[in-house]
Chains A and B, each alone.
Chain A
Amino acid sequence: MMRSPGPWGVVGAAAALLVFWHLAAVAAHSPALPPPWPALAAFWQSLGRGMERHVAVSAARVLASLAWAAALAVPAGLVLGRYPALDRWVAPLIYLTYPIPKVAFLFLVIHFLGIYNLAKIFLIGLIVFFQLLVTARDAARSVPRELLLSVRSLGAGETQLFRHVVFPAALPALFTAARIGLGTAIAVLFLTETFATDAGIGYFLVDAYSRFDYAALFAGIMAMSLMGLVLYVLLDGLEGRVCRWRRA
């Protein structure tokens, strides 16, 4: 199981990145790649001037996307994994649609869901949905037969098997998928925030770029990476609580 980085790990990694960034900036010697300090200063100044709102809006979009994707994909995937007969029909559908870059449907999504939050949350969630669906299905498939047998012999019906065996057995794999999905979600988030919004880190980045304010641009990148860090830590914390047996 992956553990959250300790505070010193984070500080060390941040320091290493800053050093690397500084060296790269010196070598590049270009206004497009400012050294860390002006960017850090810009980041500092942006706090209290809207950066918190951008981060909060972006984080809310990502979390909402993950939430709806998980709420649908996990039960559906677990059921598919438990019923191979059903999966035989659905699997081709999944494999046909899974590889399609969902971003290609941007125009469709906008056409039906408008250009605002709903469209963004739908599109981000759609990508995570498939990752969780396939993981949940495979995890449900690989639950040891003996476990199911022994719990069934205690009198468990199908719903109780899901509750006591299939779902908990799938949790570690689901958290791994959620971690991978989170990375994808943040990447797609940026894309969806480049249009039709006046909030979110993506918007902040595009805005900074259009003003050729490279320091602000990098301040936004820092904010994005910090947001990612916080979301990962939250996810790990949740996993630690839910999968307590794996730490014990």
Chain B
Amino acid sequence: MVEVRQLEVTYSGPQGPVRALAGVDFTLPDGESCAIIGPSGCGKTTLLSVLAGLVAPTAGRAMIRGQPVAARRPETALILQDYGLLPWKTVEHNAELGLLIRGVGAAERRRRVEEVLRELGLWEFRRHYPHQLSGGMRQRVAIARALTLGPDLLLMDEPFSSLDALTRESLQETLLDVWRRGGTTLVLVTHSIEEAALVGRTVLVLSERPGRVAHRLENPSAGRVEYRASPHYHRQCVRLRRLLADGAGRQAGPQRSRRAAGGGGAP
């Protein structure tokens, strides 16, 4: 279970403190999928970084399976939009990096990397370098690298936003295939309404910076096969679009002085 309580993150920027998150609250049962959507700069990446243990909360807390998030929770995997792959490593060496870092032996690394690369249709490309692959293939490698670790929590930051529509759809299907097998909680940050509605059985709409959960949309059919073609999906997209326009337009929750606090000023 992912449990986020009154989470606040304030960065110390060069022009004084920057309040990225102000009181984010949500819980997510194991094995669920959650999409997070919100205006750019509202703290989505920050929220994922906290869950990944890369950024410490300024106040409040984030718990995973009852434990406060630690810097190196080995069962958490993070996939970023770009730059996640090392240009100097081939596909197979990129894919095995997490295992290598965790000290997994060579034979076991080979076995797991082969399994995952085959599953994602990357096996023929294992000797290629990232720059020899299309954007979609590269993102596939990033997913492969995460999956070799057998994560129970998969965090993704706008993973498909730079891909063309067809590639994006095919990767979304790959991702959902993986998720449907079970055992993995999925948290996906996206700026695409369609993607959020397709993937997230729960969709969190964040407010403008400093981010907080402005709306929560229950979307229990998400992740089902063929959901994309159903009228229900389209209705959910419309609903989400409205929530987003509403949540992004103004701050949710108690208004007072939040804005002033987020706007910087004397350190």
**Which residues of A are at the interface with B, using a C-beta cutoff of 8 A?**
144, 146-147, 149-156, 160, 164-165, 168-169, 171, 243, 245, 248
Contacts and interface: CB of A to CB of B under 8 A. Distances in A.
16 contacts: A146-B82, A149-B54, A150-B80, A150-B84, A151-B101, A153-B53, A154-B77, A154-B97, A154-B101, A154-B102, A156-B101, A164-B101, A171-B88, A245-B88, A245-B129, A245-B131
Contacts of B53: 153
Interface in B53-104: 53-54, 72, 74, 76-78, 80, 82-90, 97-98, 101-102
Given A153-B54, A155-B74, A248 B129 contact: yes
A147 B84 CA distance: 6
A144 to B, nearest CB: 5
Nearest to B90: A245
A53 B115 CA distance: 56
Contact of B86 (A153, A155, A168): A168
Nearest to B74: A155
B200 to A, nearest CB: 21
Nearest to A172: B88
B54 to A, nearest CB: 6
A151 B80 CA distance: 11
A147 B97 contact: no
B86 A165 contact: yes
Interface residues of B, number: 30
Contacts of B132: 248
A164 B96 CA distance: 12
Given A164-B86, A168-B86, A245-B88, A155 B102 contact: yes
Given A160-B101, A248-B132, A154 B145 contact: yes
A152 B72 CA distance: 9
A144 B86 contact: no
Contacts of B86: 147, 151, 164-165, 168
A78 to B, nearest CB: 15
B197 interface: no
A126 B89 CA distance: 33
Contacts of B189: none
Given A149-B80, A151-B97, A155-B74, A243 B149 contact: no
A243 B76 CA distance: 31
A147 B101 contact: no
A150 B78 contact: yes
B52 A153 contact: yes
Contacts of A169: 88
B101 A155 contact: yes
Interface string B142-177: 100100010000000000000000000000000000
Contacts of B52: 153
A171 to B, nearest CB: 8
Contacts of A164: 86, 89, 97, 101
A1 B72 CA distance: 37
A152 B54 contact: yes
User: Which residue among B53, B82, B88 has the maximum number of chain A CB atoms within 10 Å of its CB?
Assistant: B88
B239 to A, nearest CB: 33
A103 to B, nearest CB: 37
Of residues A164, A169, A243, which shows the largest number of chain B Cβ atoms within 10 Å of its Cβ? A164
A34 to B, nearest CB: 49
B64 to A, nearest CB: 14
A150 B157 CA distance: 11
B22 to A, nearest CB: 23
A160 B101 CA distance: 7
Nearest to B83: A146
Contacts of A248: 128-129, 131-132
Q: Looking at A152, A153, A160, A164, which has the most chain B CB atoms within 10 Å of its CB?
A: A153
B148 to A, nearest CB: 10
Contacts of A147: 83-84, 86
A155 B88 contact: no
A243 B89 CA distance: 10
A147 B149 CA distance: 18
A59 to B, nearest CB: 30
Given A149-B49, A164-B86, 8 more contacts: A150-B80, A153-B53, A153-B54, A154-B102, A154-B145, A154-B149, A156-B101, A248-B129
Contacts of B98: 154-155
A171 B52 CA distance: 29
